[in-house]
Chain A
Amino acid sequence: MVRLFTALIHAVGLRICTAWRQWDDFWFRPEDPVTLGVVRILTGLMLTYTHWVWGIKFSSFFGTDGFQDLLLVRSLDPETMAWSFWWYVPPDLAWTVHLTCLFLLTMYTLGLWTSVTKWAAAIITISYVNRVPNASFGLDQMNAMLAVYLALGPCGARLSLDRLISVKRSAIRFPEAYAAGQRPFVLPRPSARLVRRLIQVHMCIIYFFAGVTKLKGTSWWDGNAVWMALANAEYQSVDMTWMAWYPWLSDLLTHATVLWEMTFWIFVWNPVLRPWVLLVGVLMHLGIGGFLGMWTFGLVMIFTYASFVAPETYLAIGFRRRSRNAPPAVGMANLPAERNSPSALQPVRVS
């Protein structure tokens, strides 16, 4: 009996250890931050554009008595924890603050002062959208999700001006090592892995609920939903009324949409199926952009797919600087020991 109990404890302990190892590997195994660099650039471009567009009718939306006056916004949910720095900006300074935000978002996109601008991007994105809640939609949700997650990781460690500056600084400090092709390391980091996983898991949850909630509607069962979306004159940017003569096409696209959304979280983890799953997603979101006029939303959804590409893939296709007779930057450790002169191995901060 004691032996059986001991064996049981041992088996359970083994399972727990295995589960922890898998969990640990999934979330925390250090990896190169190049993926975050790619996602940061794409997100930064979208954030900069999104906030630039606000500026076209800035006072109409952000004016204290504009479309979204303060009384209205504060009445939406008085108990909310939603926050915005716009509550504290005097109207006289609003434009100055807006231009400063655009500057910070541009720097974020370029990867300059990323340790600061990545947090600024998240704060700016959430502040804007909470200030004008009735004018926001899916694009803003995706923008905020990406900005918040990227702020948690080393999104400026690669593909950034910060990286370029750190390389140039090391060249000035250690010219011999630089001439020999040595570059500051970009070490794999757990936070890079964590952020990439957060984006991936969040996308799985989004698609799962996007699919499940469609099951509450009759049009997603009778095949009419895609027709109804495309026949909406306010969304439509390309005349798709010809589909009325091909109802089977609406049926097919409707069922495929629900099926794809509901199974995304299962099949996207399969390395063989992943490219196909993502390809369908790209086509769907391009369709949303091209036919429903929501290019920004369609593109930002596609941008999240960059997180499903492993850093090794980006590095393999050349998303890192190579120099004449130099090894890859991250692979400096592969150099013969004598080339790793101590002078070249001083710490270089990379955000």
Chain B
Amino acid sequence: MNSTTPTSSTTPMSPRWSLGWRCLVSLWLLYHAAGLLVSPASIPPSSQFVRNAWVFFGPYLQFMYMNQGHHFFAPDPGPSTLVSYEVERDDGTTVSGRIPNLDIQPRLLYHRHFMLTESLGAYEGDERLQPLLVRALARQLCREHEGDAITLTKVTHMLPTMDWLRAGERIDDPSLYQEQPLGRFEWSDFSQP
């Protein structure tokens, strides 16, 4: 639909689509809009009707990368999931840290790391995906710090209440952090599939 200059000296006519083309596009619009509605509606809890509809729209929405739920801070803003690590090097020194941390700049890169650790929280109880993500995190952190072994700990940072703050406590009080060991990995572990 490239525009061209008009071929007469009168007011140029805007190119209009043919009726057939507009009908065809209209059908696509109806399908597309229905898919956009089904996508967030299919996130549990959802009805069987919507879940069945997902079969019809899902592949299309995945292809278009429009299969989102739009659950921004819903149903409730929750605690954060972080990962702390301790890397052991062959010279006997250790490096410890936590991702995400505010040293990661720019802020967008910080959020990329944060989303990784948040995924770990989302995969809680998933025996297939969580080990894969933990292993990927361990291997990359070990590589970045040139370590021989690494120990990972999942850290859940609980949200403080207003009463907590009013009582004089801080949002980074150690008692708000819950730790759960994820394991110790040798570098040689990563050479195995």
- For the complex, give the distance between the alpha carbons of A68 and B137 in Å: 8
CB-defined interface of B88-129 with A at 8 Å, one 1/0 digit per residue?
000000000000100000111111111110010000000011
Instruction: Judge whether A187 and B59 touch: CB under 8 Å.
Output: no
CB-defined interface of B167-193 with A at 8 Å, one 1/0 digit per residue?
000011000000000000000001001
CB distance from A193 to the nearest CB of B (A): 10
Instruction: Judge whether B68 and A218 touch: CB under 8 Å.
Output: no
- For the complex, give the distance between the alpha carbons of A57 and B112 in Å: 10
Name the CB-closest residue of A to B76: A217
A314 interfacial contact with B, CB 8 Å? no
Name the CB-closest residue of B to A77: B62
Instruction: Judge whether B25 and A194 touch: CB under 8 Å.
Output: yes
CB distance from A337 to the nearest CB of B (A): 4
A270 interfacial contact with B, CB 8 Å? no
- For the complex, give the distance between the alpha carbons of A233 and B174 in Å: 12
B37 interfacial contact with A, CB 8 Å? yes
B-contacting residues, A48-76, CB 8 Å: 49-50, 53-54, 56-57, 60-61, 63, 65-69, 71-72, 75-76
B-chain residues with CB within 8 Å of residue A57 when the two chains form the complex: 109, 112
Given contacts A82-B62, A190-B16, is CB(A210)–CB(B2) below 8 Å?
no
B6 interfacial contact with A, CB 8 Å? yes
Instruction: Judge whether B74 and A216 touch: CB under 8 Å.
Output: yes
A345 interfacial contact with B, CB 8 Å? yes
B15 interfacial contact with A, CB 8 Å? yes
Q: For the side of the interface on B, what is the size category?
A: 35 or more
- For the complex, give the distance between the alpha carbons of A346 and B112 in Å: 50
Given contacts A134-B119, A136-B115, is CB(A231)–CB(B171) below 8 Å?
yes
- For the complex, give the distance between the alpha carbons of A250 and B161 in Å: 12
CB-defined interface of A78-101 with B at 8 Å, one 1/0 digit per residue?
001111000000000000000000
Q: Which of B43, B128, B140, B159 contacts A231 (CB under 8 A)?
A: B159
Name the CB-closest residue of A to B104: A57
> Which of the candidate stretches A5-13, A24-32, A271-279 sits at the interface with the other chain?
A24-32
User: What is the number of residues of chain A that contact chain B, defined by CB distance less than 8 Å?
Assistant: 102
Instruction: Judge whether B1 and A210 touch: CB under 8 Å.
Output: no
B-chain residues with CB within 8 Å of residue A241 when the two chains form the complex: 165, 171
**Listed residue (A28, A148, A191) with the most chain B CB atoms within 10 angstroms of its CB:** A28
Instruction: Judge whether A346 and B5 touch: CB under 8 Å.
Output: yes
Instruction: Judge whether B165 and A69 touch: CB under 8 Å.
Output: no
Instruction: Judge whether A134 and B25 touch: CB under 8 Å.
Output: no
Instruction: Judge whether B36 and A202 touch: CB under 8 Å.
Output: yes
B-contacting residues, A324-351, CB 8 Å: 333-334, 337, 340, 344-351
A-contacting residues, B153-172, CB 8 Å: 157, 159-160, 162-166, 171-172
Q: A72-B129, A188-B14, A295-B108 are in contact. List 8 more A-B contacts (CB 8 A).
A: A139-B108, A187-B15, A213-B40, A216-B74, A228-B159, A244-B163, A293-B110, A348-B4
Question: Residues of B with Cβ closer than 8 Å to A?
Answer: 1-12, 14-17, 22, 25-26, 29, 32-33, 36-37, 40-41, 43, 58-60, 62-66, 68-80, 82, 100, 106-116, 119, 128-129, 132-133, 136-137, 139-140, 144, 157, 159-160, 162-166, 171-172, 190, 193
Closest 6 pairs (CB-CB, A-B):
A217-B75, A30-B14, A347-B4, A217-B76, A244-B165, A216-B75
Can you identify 29 A-B contacts, CB atoms within 8 angstroms?
A: A54-B112, A56-B106, A61-B112, A66-B140, A67-B136, A81-B63, A82-B65, A148-B64, A190-B15, A201-B36, A202-B36, A205-B37, A209-B71, A213-B69, A213-B71, A217-B76, A224-B162, A228-B76, A232-B77, A232-B79, A233-B172, A234-B80, A241-B165, A243-B162, A293-B110, A294-B111, A333-B10, A345-B6, A350-B2
